[in-house]
């Protein structure tokens, strides 16, 4: 979050929309997030009051999430065209949007009725990757694209590789989260289902191995998503290594951009 709050105004060359919203977002996050993780223990061997406190904190997390998302969005208003040019901005905005989405999804998971379906399924796996990769990792990639040239005094060799890195990782993690979320919901519904027999009475639960077998098609799509993400990582590794070994050019060069932006002052 600190990286987003730094690089968003830095790249755009304008202040963050509201300092007071930033303060509200920070303290509400610091207060509520400490308890929010407890919602993963719903139905587990912990006191009910602890679970209830975690549920309440998870729903209160909507406050910092909405405040932060609003602050970032209003900062970007009027300068969204910079996304066409700045690698750093493209990565951190993607990460910021997914911070909002994954946090709201986390609050939804705190509902006991929803937790009964999604706990111990692929849905939780999707949620974990949504936060760790779509938010955190993408913001860190954007930070690297800004910081590294200023440390070693070189520019990134290829804007095309940066573009490939972004679209492959963004598309791959989006596919990953979507297919694993669908798989988890189907899996949870099946594990809770009691088919009704011909006599009108509840029958036997669906065999667990049958439920597992029904998720294979989604796991195959997960593999496709992983391969696409790996392509993006390879593009980043090539660009990173190329940057390190290439000779330093004398003088000061323009920052690495996807394309020339004559009327837009943005850093990479």
Whether 250 is in a domain gets the answer: no
Is residue 203 over pLDDT 70? no
Whether 26 is in a domain gets the answer: yes
Whether 241 is in a domain gets the answer: yes
Whether 268 is in a domain gets the answer: no
What does the alpha-carbon distance between residue 68 and residue 89 come to, in Å, rounded to a whole number?
Answer: 16
User: What is the reported pLDDT for 46?
Assistant: 85
* pLDDT above 90 as % of the chain: 51
Is residue 206 over pLDDT 90? no
Structure letter (DSSP) for residue 202: B
Whether 64 is in a domain gets the answer: yes
The CATH number given to whatever domain includes residue 207 is 1.20.210.10
Is residue 45 over pLDDT 90? no
Is residue 268 over pLDDT 50? no
Using left for φ > 0, alpha for ψ between -120 and 50, and beta otherwise, residue 13 falls in left
Whether 261 is in a domain gets the answer: no
User: What is the reported pLDDT for 196?
Assistant: 64
User: What is the reported pLDDT for 253?
Assistant: 54
Task: Return phi, psi of residue 196, to 5°.
Answer: -90, 130
What does the alpha-carbon distance between residue 218 and residue 106 come to, in Å, rounded to a whole number?
Answer: 22
CA angle 196, 198, 200 (to 5 degrees): 55
Whether 264 is in a domain gets the answer: no
H or E segment and range at residue 132: none
Whether 153 is in a domain gets the answer: yes
Counted domains in the chain: 1
Structure letter (DSSP) for residue 85: T
Q: Is-contact 139 4, C-beta < 8 A?
A: yes
| Structural domain boundaries enclosing 161 | 2-245
pLDDT digit string (tens) for 142-196? Answer: 999 999 988 888 889 888 999 999 999 999 999 999 999 999 999 999 988 876 6
């Amino acid at each position: 979050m600190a990286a987003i709050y730094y690089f968003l105004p830095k790249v755009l060359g304008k202040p963050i929309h509201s300092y007071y919203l930033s303060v509200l977002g920070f303290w509400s996050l610091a207060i509520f997030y400490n308890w929010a993780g407890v919602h993963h223990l719903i139905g587990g061997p912990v006191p009910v009051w602890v679970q209830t406190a975690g549920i309440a904190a998870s729903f209160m997390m909507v406050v910092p999430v909405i405040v932060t998302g609003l602050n970032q969005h209003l900062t970007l208003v009027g300068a969204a065209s910079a996304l066409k040019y700045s690698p750093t901005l493209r990565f951190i905005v993607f990460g910021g949007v997914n911070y909002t989405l994954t946090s709201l999804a986390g609050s939804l998971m705190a509902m006991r009725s929803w937790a009964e379906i999604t706990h111990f399924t692929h849905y939780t796996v999707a949620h974990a990757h949504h936060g760790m990769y779509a938010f955190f990792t993408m913001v860190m990639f954007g930070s690297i694209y800004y910081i590294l040239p200023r440390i070693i005094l070189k520019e990134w060799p290829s804007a095309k590789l940066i573009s490939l890195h972004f679209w492959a990782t963004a598309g791959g993690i989006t596919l990953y989260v979507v297919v694993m979320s669908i798989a988890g919901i189907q899996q949870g519904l099946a594990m809770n289902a009691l088919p009704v027999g011909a006599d009108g009475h509840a029958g036997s639960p669906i065999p667990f191995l049958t439920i597992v077998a029904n998720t294979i098609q989604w796991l195959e799509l997960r593999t496709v998503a992983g391969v696409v993400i790996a392509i993006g990582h390879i593009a980043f590794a090539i660009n990173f290594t190329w940057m390190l070994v290439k000779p330093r050019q004398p003088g000061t060069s323009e920052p690495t951009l996807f394309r020339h932006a004559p009327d837009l002052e943005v850093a990479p």
